[in-house]
Chains A and B, each alone.
Chain A
Amino acid sequence: MKYIIAIIQPDRLDEVLDLLTKKEIHLCTVSNVVGRGRQKGIAEVYRSHREAGTLLKKVKLEIAINDEFLKPAMDAIIEGGRTGQTGDGKIFVFDMQECLRIRTGETGHVAIG
């Protein structure tokens, strides 16, 4: 079981969600976040000097998946999220120890889907 955290450009969210759905990955948590990386203040899409040096708006996706879905999930995020510009974001993958469905008490692989 893996846990993915992906930081992407806000305007790529719809595309990424569409592609994830096509690969039958329906479950994810999305949040608005701000942060900074190499893009610094000169965001390609915002073209705004005003934002230089401040934190930029991004979207964070969190997805818990079984191992066989790791590759499809990463492919979907890369395909949907890539514009080729600095600031497209990153994907972090973790090993996940446990998953438990609160309603039934199921654990492990079955609890994810």
Chain B
Amino acid sequence: MKKPGRDWRWFGCVALAGVMPGVALAGETAIGTALAGSGSGISAADTVWVLLGAALVMLMTPGLAFFYGGLVRRKNILSVLMQCFMMLCVVSLQWVFCGYSLSFGPDLSGIIGSLDWTGLTGVGMEPSDYAPTIPHTAFALFQMMFAVITPALIIGAFAERMRFSAFVVFSLLWTTLVYDPVAHWVWGKGGFIGSLGGMGAVDFAGGIVVHINAGMAALAAVIVLGKRKGFPDAISPPHNLPVAVLGAGLLWFGWFGFNAGSALAANHVAVSAFMATHIAGAMGGLIWSLLDWLKFGKPTTLGMITGAVAGLAAVTPGAGYVAISGAIWIGLFSGIICWLAVTALKSKYQYDDSLDAFGVHGVGGIWGTLAVGIWGTKMVNAAGVDGLFYGNPHQLWVQAKAVGITMAYSFVMSLVLFKIVDFILGLRVKENEEAIGLDLTQHREAGYTLLD
């Protein structure tokens, strides 16, 4: 028999614990409202758009989970979903604890942010230098979702064979030692690559910070972990393509927050970025389908969604800097280049980038970042850059340097971190665990039942 009295005591304690921080928060909010009212320049429209953007980018991580989850074998779907969701939990907390401060905090020699904003100390309801019309906390929230999805992208390279514990430790180390510094270099005030006091390379929404960064880590993962057993001939095809299509749809939807939200205001740049994003995604999917049709005789569903994601990844660094014509060219070439990377390069070198994290995000990010140096124009965004076709070939050189530095740093650091985690924990599951599948061996659950 249960004793109801005991249950009620517990409930009382929990309720009290829940209310107390609530009271404290309400006090702070009142102060925030007062500040906003006293002419600190906060725009309600901009704040709404950025908060909505943060929610859209958050949705991309579950979207990516389904995209990847549909592509693995049926015994591994939960492992992929679980890894993506774990990033939502772990990286979000890391971001509040130290990630945001390391990325965007007061600059130390252009290399890294200081720890002054640890625990979001001093990050309040007043606007920051990064976004003058929204509360600083809204900017930190928006950026948090980028930090979450970036390590999740790497999952595509080591899917179906990595130990869960090793994955968590690696991802936490990688976010702190690779993502945070690179975000600071490119986006942080004073970072040595970016346009806020650096060498002037631009990355509108994360071509360098997110896609090249994750893509190179993916390449390192492939090299350290090696192939899945049976690759390439005895690996079953994707076990649930409809789920992958659903995931790609959610990604595309979320990408509007990712790119248009990166304008950090509900303005003409957001509108332009929205259009460029959609057009490049459409172009990428179309081109990939046509190439599949020409080369293999039939346009494939998987090719269509992969091409769309390649187009969206490629337009990310330039979304707010290029005109529609630029977005069309970026999407077109991303379809061709990524298709070549996935079909020709991968089969030539026989590396097992299981879900093409490098081939799509790495290669797409590299292409897109260079493309800003070609099609960027200040006619779209006065705060942007002019590229090669608008009379400024120098920008292409700056973009190329930024690409090279990030590729080298991310690849080498990821390689080192994988080796360290491999030494301490062991990266790869045992051979029979790989055969049984990660769902049962890592999580003791099954994605599907046979009866019932």
Please list the residues of chain A having a beta carbon within 8 angstroms of any beta carbon in chain B: 10-12, 14, 32-34, 45-48, 50, 55, 57, 83
Q: Are A33 and B432 in contact (CB under 8 A)?
A: no
User: Would A11 and B436 be within 8 Å (CB), given that A33-B450, A55-B451, A57-B450 are in contact?
Assistant: yes
A45 in contact with B432 given A14-B230, A14-B234, A50-B444 (CB within 8 Å) = yes
8 nearest A-B pairs in the assembled complex, by CB-CB distance: A11-B435, A11-B436, A34-B450, A48-B444, A32-B450, A45-B436, A46-B440, A34-B451
CB distance from B237 to the nearest CB of A (A): 15
Contacts of B436 in A (CB 8 A): 10-11, 45-46
Known: A14-B234, A34-B450. 13 other contacts (CB 8 A): A11-B436, A11-B437, A12-B435, A14-B230, A32-B450, A34-B451, A45-B440, A46-B440, A47-B444, A48-B440, A48-B444, A55-B451, A57-B450
Chain A residues, CB < 8 A from B451: 34, 55
Q: Which residues of B lie under 8 Å from residue A11 when comparing CB positions?
A: 432, 435-437
List residues of chain B with CB under 8 Å of any chain A CB: 230, 234, 432, 435-437, 440, 444, 446, 450-451
Which B residues lie within 8 Å of A32 (CB)?
450
Q: How far is the CA of A25 from the CA of B444 in the complex (A)?
A: 35
Residue of B nearest to A49 (CB): B444
Contacts of A12 on B, CB cut-off 8 Å?
435
Q: How far is the CA of A11 from the CA of B444 in the complex (A)?
A: 15
User: CA of A104 to CA of B446 in the docked complex: distance in angstroms?
Assistant: 43
CB neighbours of A47 from chain B (8 A): 444
Name the residue of chain B whose CB is nearest to the CB of A47. Answer: B444
Cα(A37)–Cα(B73), bound, Å: 27
Determine the chain A residues whose CB is within 8 A of the CB of B435 once the complex forms.
11-12, 14
Q: How far is the CA of A47 from the CA of B432 in the complex (A)?
A: 14
Question: Please, could you name 11 A-B residue pairs with CB atoms under 8 Å apart, sorted by A?
Answer: A11-B432, A11-B435, A33-B450, A45-B436, A46-B436, A46-B440, A47-B444, A48-B444, A50-B444, A57-B446, A57-B450
A46:B444 contact, CB within 8 angstroms = yes
Residues of A within 8 A of B437 (CB): 11
Residues of A near B230 (CB, < 8 A) are 14
In the assembled complex, the Cα of A34 lies from the Cα of B432 at a distance in Å of 20
CA of A50 to CA of B435, assembled, Å: 21
Q: How far is the CB of B230 from chain A (nearest CB, A)?
A: 7
The answer for the CA separation of A14 and B230 in the assembled complex, in Å, is 9
**Shortest beta-carbon distance from B120 to chain A in Å:** 40
Output the nearest chain B residue to A46 by Cβ-Cβ distance: B440
Q: What separation, in Å, do the CA atoms of A14 and B434 have in the docked complex? A: 12
A90 to B431, CA, bound (A): 23
- In the assembled complex, the CB of A15 is this many whole angstroms from the nearest CB of chain B, namely 8
Please, which residue of chain B has its CB at the minimum distance from the CB of A31? Answer: B450
A103 CB to closest chain B CB (Å) equals 26
Closest chain A residue, CB of each to CB of B74: A32
Which residues of B sit under 8 angstroms from A55, Cβ to Cβ?
A: 451
- How far does the alpha carbon of A45 sit from the alpha carbon of B433 in the complex, in Å? 9
A29 to chain B, nearest CB (A): 17
Please give, as numbers and ranges, the residues of chain B lying within 8 Å of A48 by CB-CB distance: 440, 444
Q: Which residues of B contact A10 (CB under 8 A)?
A: 436
Docked pose: A1 CA to B450 CA in angstroms: 32
Q: Closest residue to B446 on the A side, CB-wise?
A: A57
CA of A48 to CA of B444, assembled, Å: 7
The closest CB in chain A to the CB of B434 belongs to A11
The smallest beta-carbon distance between A107 and chain B, in angstroms, is 34
Residues of A within 8 A of B450 (CB): 32-34, 57
